[in-house]
Structure 1
Amino acid sequence: MLAIRVKAVLNSVSMIGLSGALAMPAMAQDSAIEPGAGPSSEIATGGDEGIVVTGTRIARDGASAPTPVTVIGGDYLATRAATNIADVLNEIPSFRGTSTPTTNGTSATTAGGNFIDLRGLGSNRTLLLVDGKRHVPTSITGRVDLNMIPSVLINRVEVVTGGASAVYGSDAVAGVVNLILKDKFEGIEGSVQGDVSELGDAEGYSAELVAGKSFLDGRLNVTVAGQLYRNNGAGSQYTRDWGRRENFLVTNPTPGNGQPTRIITGDVHSASMTPYGLITSGPLRGTQFDANGNAFPFNYGTLVGSQYMVGGDGEGDNFLHGFWLSPKIRRQLASVQVSYQATDDIEIKSEFFYGRSHVTNESVAPFDFGTLTIRRDNAYLPSSVAAAMDVQGLNSFGFGRFSLDVGANTPDNYTNTYRWVQSARGAFGDWKWDAYYQFGKVDYHAHLRGVRNNANYLAAIDSVIDPATGRAICRSSLVSPSNGCVAYNPFGDQASQESKDNITGDLWQDVTLKQHVAAANLAGTVADLWAGPLAISVGGEYRFESARGTSDALSQANAYAAGNYKPISGSFDVFEGYVEADLPLLRDLPLVRSLDLNGAIRYADYSTSGGATTWKLGATWEMFDGFRLRATRSRDVRAPNISELFSSAVSRINSVTDPFRNNSLIFANTVTSGSTALTPEVAKTVTLGASYVAPWLPGLRASVDYYNISIRDAISSLTAQNILDRCYAGDTALCGLVQRGGDGLISQINIAQINIASLKTRGIDFEISYTTPLMGGTVSWRNLATYVDKYEQSNGIVVQQLAGQFSEPGVPHWTGNSTLTYSQDRYSASLTGRFVGGGKYDNRYVEGVDINDNTVTGRLYLNLSLQYDVWRAQSGEGKIQAFVVVNNLLDKDPSVSPSSTSPTNPAYFDVIGRAYRAGIRFRL
């Protein structure tokens, strides 16, 4: 079977090469083509010199590339002094900070992770490269945590904001982020810095060092690097003024009272639970308990619903009480790079990377929104309440409790990443080649501590007096004395530690991810044509990825209220071949200084889903000196990841209405799992743009680019009710997911991942920069902005328009970044503004009808950076520099935009507040 697949790919590559040379040629600049990731030196800012720019393997400068490329240079990285490259990327308008330590800190599996997300299309649709090579995924979803990339080694970052699957393969749907590392480093460079918020939390430090030296007359270079990072995290929303306002969204409990269906307001408290217990039903409703178990009246506020209310008791005890704003992070990174110039034309390089990350956080404590039942014979029932129940003739009442005494659920996750890359590159004549083999391994250990064991809790809270001993025991222990149940006192803070330990448990999961990649590229000039050389780059790649994981037995049995990790086992491989070509069409004509075509096509054969073809065709037209138009059209894919393919089945009981049986309400077993029947998502991307480098005003650059991305067959899952309804409406493909017994009743509904969703987005990127001498120094001003005109998401049933919306998963219409820098001799100062435009809370809502206030205000965050060279070597090769960074200089509060876990949207708004960073960096 393997031989058949290899032969199929080789045949396809042959056909690709022929079609690429004849049907879809692309052009080259006058300089040679460089396969691979490009040079390690700072990216050129002007001129006609050709370099390899991410998004193409053809040598050219960024301005002449047909696909838009944003470059983040080393100077800007130093200005921001970020300890993680993701922190810098998420300030760029085309990125969305949807998966960062402040947005997924409470996740049971990805807490503290930093995953990049271009266009808001999902981090699994943005391809991350390191020196043009894939990096081993750090999660079963195929994503790479940027915490595992040593920032001290990063020389620059190139971002392609358009489809690039034809050049780099799967996942490059929204674009590509290529981290260019320092190569053949000479000397010693490092930094030490500390961080702290104005409130004294988010405290941390970072120390990083890179050292390199050449031997054997420069033929051998050894570079080592390391980084230590620690941050103690930030507390809950109640540590901030804006959080203590307790803004949240409540549902109007009495429609027709003249108020909208939903209301966003402050002073929102829990209406059906308190930390020490609250009676929620019957004549005794509104009786709460203090820490000593004494009963007293509960003061209800207004708009009292089944879960929340406005005002009343409960200040400071909101459901969000325990959610940390950012987690504790410990990180250690190390790398060794050895390069050897074996001959004048061949270089061999070995790279070893190791990273270890430990993330700890706190999320929510166990809770019950009035869903518990307390019986009259409960062993811990206060006598006053027992007497009142007797008067009323009550046998039981509803009860709610926010069990802060038990403690919060605490994710405690370890990730160890190992990566080895063996590469070689060289030339023979005018042709250049490169090849590499990469092995990556990730050992991931997740621990979720203090999670409620549902069965133990329900048994422990249902206590009685043992008639034999007169002591409190679980009711279940009367029948089964050796069942291990320990009675729990829910009234006040009176429960024993033994009972608390009995009702909670620690979950764990161990997962090992492996990746093997082997790739080779060859590039050169085929012929000199009328307008320049026809150049091509061809190559092939083999990739194997696997995941093996297990978990604790109780998680596998769904025993807990959260987490419930499942085993996973699966693997896939893919053979790929591509060809890219550059074809110069016209030169030096009126209004056509140059006209070039660029094209690429790739065929991939996946072991799980078969063959997939991607392609792109682009053009650049320089009308006159400095002014270029560019356009691309591409077909891109994202293959299903390990999680989507092989996730273990999880069974739950859900209530559904069966339209085949007069919409009768039933409880059906639903099984959610991955699916090996998945096929790749398919995206069509169009970009149109213009760039201008002003010859009449040196230092002025501008560009504008339109993008339109449409993804079909996106991988998603439907609810059990969706499956039934669509089957009834005639979607026979979904009927196969519904199993019925001989009596016609539903026995099971399979909720597998399927290719059913779609995503569409379009917008415009703007960039303008200007650099000029001023007062003995240099001033530079760079501005980036993105306008999202359309962001549409469909699950195959409901279409949501999400552009300009801040409730998840919306994206704002406008985002921007502006950096003004002045440097003179030893001094440098930068002011960076990050702008998030305002919009609606939810595009579906009509203000005054569906919601009281559907407006989310925008924010402008200012960050100040100061740098001073304390010492400089006379040779000019070394220096010691002190720096200070103040983030959120004006201490702007986040806008109100509630979600289930926050009163704001941390993907767009800063939740830490004013924070300081200071340190020393050096180069020797």
Structure 2
Amino acid sequence: MLHCRYLAGASPLALLAVLGFAAPANAQDAAEVSEVVVTGSFIAGTPENAALPVNVIGADELQKQGSPSTVDLIKSIPAIQGAVGETNQFGAGQVTGAGSANLRGLGSERTLVLMNGRRMTISPGSIFVDTNLIPTAAIGRVEVLKDGAAATYGSDAVAGVVNFITRKNLSGLEVSAGYSLIDGSNGDYNVSAAYGWQGENADVLLTAGYRHRSELSTTERDFAVRPFAENPQGGWSSFGNPGTYLTSANGGASFTSPFVDPACNVLSGPASATTCQFQYIGFDNLIEDEDHYQIYGEINVDLTEKTKFHAEVLFAGHDVMAENSSPSYSPNNFPTSALTTKAQGNGFFIDPRNPGLQALLASGGINPAQAASAAANGVFTSVAWRPLGVGGNELFGGKGKEDKRSFQAYRVSAGFKGSLDIGDGIGWDAAVTYMDNNSDIATPDVLIGKMQLALRGLGGNGCTGNTPGQNGCLWFNPFSSGVQQNVIDGRTNPNYNAATANSREVLEYMFADYAYKIRSQMFTADLVFNGELPVDFGAGQLAWAAGAQYRWSGIERQNNDNTNIAVSPCPDSSVNPAATCTAQNGPFSFFGALADYDLDQSVGAAFAEFQMPFTDTLTGTFAIRYEDYGGNIGSTTNPKVALKWQATDWLAF
């Protein structure tokens, strides 16, 4: 697979770098940073050779990487393992398109992600910060602390810290764009712009970026879709369509005798005596259609010689509006006897008058005794079945279902910092940050009650009366008799009966969105003081920092009526809102009902840090942090001692 990248409208700075010309003096790469603050310490002026294993990826390195996307940048960091950000639904769950940082393999939820040293809230529906929200065009450098930082930042920094720091000293306008040619896809492309203004006592940075990833189907790669004999775990399921059904040996009192839809080996397969293998992976994508966007702005003002003001605003998000998945799921939930008209549970009853069943029996291939029973008593489903399979789902263009994932976030941070004329001078830094992150998730699924009525010819929103297939009542055909071909590999069904194909109307009646909205919020207030004490072993004074933090976080979920357990608790709720049930699993065949929630938590923290250069080659750091989570959770105190010995110019312990 050949991937090619083209640059169009690249920034003047990038073009000069490619052509070998020197950058102008006011460009960021040539700017001198007046004070280096290393991630992992609150002590101003902490040297890069402190007892902190920090990697700094600066503007030069970012330029050499071709202005990478945030996920590409994170993947290039050696300490990062298993980063989410380019995975499909099987790796990302229902947060497709979100990125993460997982330091030292300890889990993304244990890696603290900062922007300009301030926290970000988690992505709704996950337990990690979505790094794809970071405005790529605004990144000036990235600092990675490859060490536990609970004593400095809190318990969510056990694995370390990734701090994205925005550009400084940019003057003028930069515009860049890129395109990646990917075989079998429309390619990936991006465009971004950054504008910087430098005044005598203030500066401004404004950036905007857009990135698109194009769908890449599994069927475009031979390795992804393999025969059952080669890779039986490669997206194969014995719960398929064509599927397995049960017939009755006692006049319809119970259904226990299984038969496999005769078209199994014709359309899907392989088949056994009781199951038909179905490969669902062909309906999925390796890459989904994704749209990412970020708008960012910041302002820095020197209010006085000793007081500075900083404020930043971020609006970002991404949309995955057609995440492809299997045409339907195998049922985990089943209707009551009131709808099946049978005492037998854990299945759906298909009326003998169902035209799809009659066409299937007429085509042959079923044991005569079972065929006779099916014609007289109907059939029951087992769990080795799903409503739609190889024939696709006409509601979504005839292939798989299309799930929707949408995320939007905004973040505001502002603060002051300066120094006090006390002793040798005490620095201070005060800031507040608020972030609001929202997701809108919708996954189509079958409503149990409505499908059961349609299997008996009583489906449809306009159905009146109790006569199957009459007075606006619709049939749903779950058999191969209504399937013309396998939409993935093109195999055709010689026994297809067009008169029994499912109408769009009955599918619209049966399917509904399993949907909810999640909102995660965070507010933090930080106050830090730092300075030096008159303790010196000959290599420098003892530096210190101390401060406090208040952190509030909230998360809430609001479900639509079909998903909400308080509104639709029972399997029959979709056709009988007053239904009662002991096991409240909800009305969907695959997904379970959810409860709304609105939760929040407040954390108060106090911390202190000391840094001592004992000699020119030996530096020590001590830090301690106390956090109170309130309520029944309690508190935690985390100390840390670190030493660094620079044995030679090239070797440190």
Aligned residue for 1:488? 476
Over the aligned positions, Cα root-mean-square deviation in angstroms equals: 3.7
Residues 258 and 274 in structure 2, CA contact (< 8 A), matched pair in contact too: no
Corresponding residue for 1:508?
515
Q: Which residue of 1 aligns with 2:192?
A: 208
Report the CA distance between 1:81 and its aligned residue.
3.5
Match of 1:541, SS state, is: strand
Match of 1:198 among 176, 183, 192: 183
Name the residue aligned to 2:334. none
Give the Cα–Cα distance (whole angstroms) in 2 for the partners of residues 435 and 422 of structure 1.
9
Q: Counterparts of 1:42 and 1:140 in 2: how far apart (Å)?
A: 42
Moved more, 345-354 or 179-188: 179-188
Question: What amino acid maps onto 2:521 in structure 1?
Answer: K
Partner of 2:3: none
**How far apart, CA to CA, are the structure 2 residues paired with 1:462 and 1:547?**
43
Match status 1:575 vs 2:604: yes
Return the TM-score normalized by structure 2. Answer: 0.74
Q: Is the aligned partner of 1:245 residue 2:226?
A: yes
Q: How does 1:548-567 map to 2 (within 5 A)?
A: 548-556=556-564, 557=568, 558-560=586-588, 561-562=590-591, 564=593, 566-567=595-596
| Deviation, structure 1 residue 353 | 1.2
Deviation, structure 1 residue 612: 1.3
1:409: Cα distance to partner?
3.5
Q: How far off its partner does 1:283 sit?
A: 8.0
Q: C-alpha distance in 2, partners of 1:306/1:120?
A: 43
Evaluate the alpha carbon distance shift between residue 481 and residue 555 of structure 1 in structure 2; reply closer, same or farther with a 3 A threshold: farther
State how far apart, in whole Å, the 2-side matches of 1:247 and 1:177 are.
Answer: 43
Given candidates 461, 467, 490, the residue that maps to 2:455 is 461
Is 1:610 matched with 2:634? yes
Matches within 5 A, 1:514-533: 514-531=521-538, 532-533=540-541
| 2:417 pairs with 1:425 | yes
Alpha-carbon distance in structure 2 between the residues aligned to 1:454 and 1:564: 12
In the other structure, the counterpart of 1:405 is 393
* Equivalent residue number for residue 233 of structure 1: 215
Structure 1 pair 626–320 and aligned structure 2 pair: CA distance change class (3 A): closer
Partner of 2:552: 544
Deviations 1:34-79 (A, max 9, x none): xxxxxx979999xxx98322122343443x2323222323333333
The alpha carbon displacement at 1:131 in A equals 1.2
Aligned residues: 540
Equivalent positions of 1:407-806 (< 5 A) are 407=396, 408-429=400-421, 430-448=425-443, 450-463=444-457, 477=466, 486-491=474-479, 492-493=482-483, 494-531=501-538, 532-556=540-564, 557=568, 558-560=586-588, 561-562=590-591, 564=593, 566-585=595-614, 587=615, 594-608=617-631, 609-629=633-653
Q: Distance between the aligned counterparts of 1:97 and 1:475, measured in 2?
A: 55
Query: Aligned partners of 2:189, 2:159: CA distance in 1, in Å?
Result: 34
Q: 1:272 to 1:439 in 2, by over 3 A?
A: closer
Confirm or deny that 1:273 pairs with 2:268. no
Counterpart in the other structure of 1:855 = none
Letter in structure 1 aligned against 2:442: H
**Does residue 380 of structure 1 match 2:323?**
no
Amino acid at match of 1:427: S
SS of 2:287's partner is coil
CA contact (8 A) 1:98 1:120 kept: no
* Residues 490 and 43 of structure 1: CA distance in aligned 2, closer, same or farther (over 3 Å): farther
Q: Deviations over 1:803-850 (max 9, x none)?
A: xxxxxxxxxxxxxxxxxxxxxxxxxxxxxxxxxxxxxxxxxxxxxxxx
Query: Which one-letter code corresponds to 1:378 in the other structure?
Result: N
**Structure 2 CA distance for aligned equivalents of residues 614 and 55 of structure 1:** 14
Deviations 1:132-191 (A, max 9, x none): 111233325452212211101111111112210111123101111111111343222231
The runs of 5 or more residues in structure 1 that have no matched partner are 1-39, 250-263, 291-295, 310-316, 588-592, 630-924
The alignment's TM-score, normalised by the length of structure 1, stands at 0.53
Residue 338, structure 1, aligned to residue 320, structure 2: no
Q: How far apart are residue 289 of structure 1 and its match?
A: 4.1
Q: Structure 1 residue 224 and structure 2 residue 206: aligned? A: yes
Distance 1:543 1:267 in 2: 45
How do 1:77-116 and structure 2 match up within 5 A? 77-81=62-66, 84-104=69-89, 109-116=94-101
- Which structure dedicates a bigger proportion of its chain to strand? 1
TM-aligned CA deviation for residue 455 of structure 1: 2.4
- Structure 1 residues 440 and 391: alpha-carbon distance in aligned structure 2, compared to 1, 3 A threshold: closer
Provide the rounded CA distance (Å) in 1 between the counterparts of 2:227 and 2:42: 52
Deviation, structure 1 residue 497: 0.9
- Cα distance per residue 1:247-289 (max 9 Å; x no partner): 789xxxxxxxxxxxxxx56898555634x55657788834434
- Partner Cα distance (1:110, 1:607) in 2: 30
Match of 1:358 among 319, 331, 335: 319
Measured after TM superposition, the shift of residue 596 of structure 1 is 2.2
CA contact (8 A) 2:246 2:380 kept: yes
**SS in structure 2 of the partner of residue 381 of structure 1:** helix
Deviations 1:634-689 (A, max 9, x none): xxxxxxxxxxxxxxxxxxxxxxxxxxxxxxxxxxxxxxxxxxxxxxxxxxxxxxxx
Structure 1 residue aligned with 2:259: 285
CA distance in 1, matches of 2:435, 2:360: 65
The aligned counterpart of 1:257 is none
Q: Per-residue displacement from partner, 1:484-507 (whole Å, max 9, x unpaired)?
A: 974212232301111111110123
| Amino acid aligned to 1:600 | A
Deviation string, structure 1 residues 207-251 (Cα, Å, up to 9, x no partner): 111111123xx102122111122222222x2211212324789xx
The question of whether the paired residues in 2 share the 8 Å contact of 1:105 and 1:324 is answered with: no
**Overall identity of the aligned pairs, in %:** 22
State the Cα deviation string for residues 735-785 of structure 1 (Å, max 9, x = none).
Answer: xxxxxxxxxxxxxxxxxxxxxxxxxxxxxxxxxxxxxxxxxxxxxxxxxxx
**2:587 maps to amino acid:** A
Structure 1 residues 340 and 324, CA gap change in structure 2 (3 angstroms): same
Structure 1 Cα separation of the partners of residues 541 and 227 of structure 2: 65
Distance 1:127 1:156 in 2: 17
CA 1:534–1:271: 2 relative to 1, 3 Å = closer
Q: 1:535 deviation in Å?
A: 0.9
- Alpha-carbon distance in structure 2 between the residues aligned to 1:268 and 1:545: 39
CA contact (8 A) 2:74 2:83 kept: no
Query: What secondary structure does 1:440 align onto?
Result: strand
